């Protein structure tokens, strides 16, 4: 049994009806017509039976109706239960109004970004030489923002939460006397101030987009989102969509960037962008080109 979201279930049912009614078979058309004609006859017979008037003549329309319904059901069962995905892939996609990004750690760029030299170096996001100054994971969101900056109004950032760090056997043995102290890996929600400052320096005052964290939209995510819990990630992305919709951005004006974070955020972001009119993008680590993907699911008929 294939399970589908309600919208896809309704779409699938519609496709089944289309497949049945547009069939080239004259038999199918005849079956449908007879089913409609016998429906009223059947209801009258059933009504008479409820009053105690029972005869063989009254069973004929009921039996005929059931046979016709069964025939159409068998026809519908022949329709494929599988679906197809229609993918529209574009390099250098149309600029959008809002971005949803997953924030990775700054990596090797953190030292110079935290220093005063950043104020002097980061003078323009459209300068490729300045973007090339980034050697760490933040190069990708910088490229994404640079691509859309002309129309970009808002960037919703989904940072990671602190996570308990897994220790190796050697680490566990050496720290056996410190069992009360748990090692945690700091989440990127702690890097939000630095990221916001970096983007503000890059974009200047005139074209500066509004940088929002998902924690500012929903208090649940103030300390970031667990990047290993797909349910939380999906809820956070949907919350970002809802907030952007309420603030005037249609789904087709919103792009989910799945470059940052780990594999799970990428899957969650792409999954949430499967709806009609939604898109996601990826910044290639090879050539730093922004590529968008509009994936639509259609039930096969």
Residue numbers of the domain that contains 194: 86-299
Domains: count for the chain? 2
Q: Which residues contact 191 (CB under 8 A, 6 or more apart)?
A: 103, 105, 106, 110, 159
Claim to verify: residue 17 and residue 138 sit in the same structural domain: no
Name the more confident of 171 and 261.
261
Q: Is residue 156 within 8 Å of residue 184, measured between CB atoms? A: no
Q: Is residue 225 within 8 Å of residue 160, measured between CB atoms? A: yes
pLDDT of residue 256: 94
In a domain, 283, yes or no: yes
Domain limit, last residue, from 16, 46, 81 = 81
Beta strands at 279-283 and 290-299: parallel, antiparallel or unpaired: antiparallel
pLDDT of residue 216: 97
Q: How many CB atoms neighbour CB 223 within 10 A?
A: 15
Kindly state the average pLDDT of the residues 103-121: 84
CA dihedral 267, 268, 273, 275 (to 10 degrees): 110
Rg (CA), the chain: 29
Q: Is the pTM of this model over 0.75?
A: no
In a domain, 161, yes or no: yes
What is the band of 97 on the pLDDT scale with cuts at 50, 70, 90? very high
Residue 255 has pLDDT above 90, yes or no: yes
pLDDT of residue 23: 47
In a domain, 1, yes or no: no
Q: Which residue matches tokens 């780990």?
A: 262
Domain limit, last residue, from 30, 49, 81 = 81
């Amino acid at each position: 049994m294939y399970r589908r979201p309600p919208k896809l279930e309704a779409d699938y049912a519609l496709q089944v009806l289309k497949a049945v009614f547009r069939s080239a078979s004259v038999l199918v058309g005849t079956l449908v017509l007879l089913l409609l004609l016998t429906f009223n006859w059947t209801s009258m017979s059933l009504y008479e039976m409820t009053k105690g008037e029972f005869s063989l003549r009254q069973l004929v329309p009921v039996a005929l109706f059931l046979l016709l319904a069964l025939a159409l059901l068998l026809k519908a069962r022949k329709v494929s239960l599988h679906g197809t995905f229609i993918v529209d892939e574009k390099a250098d996609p149309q600029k959008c109004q809002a971005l949803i990004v997953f924030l990775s750690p700054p990596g090797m760029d953190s030292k110079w970004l935290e220093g005063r030299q950043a104020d002097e170096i980061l003078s323009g996001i459209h300068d490729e030489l300045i973007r090339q100054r980034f050697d760490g994971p933040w190069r990708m969101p910088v490229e994404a923002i640079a691509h859309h900056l002309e129309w970009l109004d808002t960037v919703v950032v989904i940072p990671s939460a602190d996570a308990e760090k897994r220790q190796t056997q050697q680490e566990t043995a050496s720290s056996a006397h410190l069992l009360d102290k748990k090692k945690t890996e700091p989440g990127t929600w702690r890097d939000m101030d630095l990221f916001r400052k970096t983007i503000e320096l890059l974009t200047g005052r005139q074209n500066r987009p509004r940088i929002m964290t998902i924690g500012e939209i929903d208090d649940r995510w103030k300390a970031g989102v667990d990047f290993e819990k797909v349910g939380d990630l999906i809820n956070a992305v949907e919350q970002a969509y809802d907030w952007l919709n309420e603030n005037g951005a249609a789904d087709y004006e919103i792009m989910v960037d799945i470059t940052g974070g780990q594999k799970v955020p990428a899957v969650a972001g792409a999954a949430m962008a499967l709806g009609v009119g939604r898109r996601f993008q990826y910044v290639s680590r090879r050539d730093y080109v922004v590529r968008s993907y509009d994936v639509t699911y259609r039930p096969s008929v």
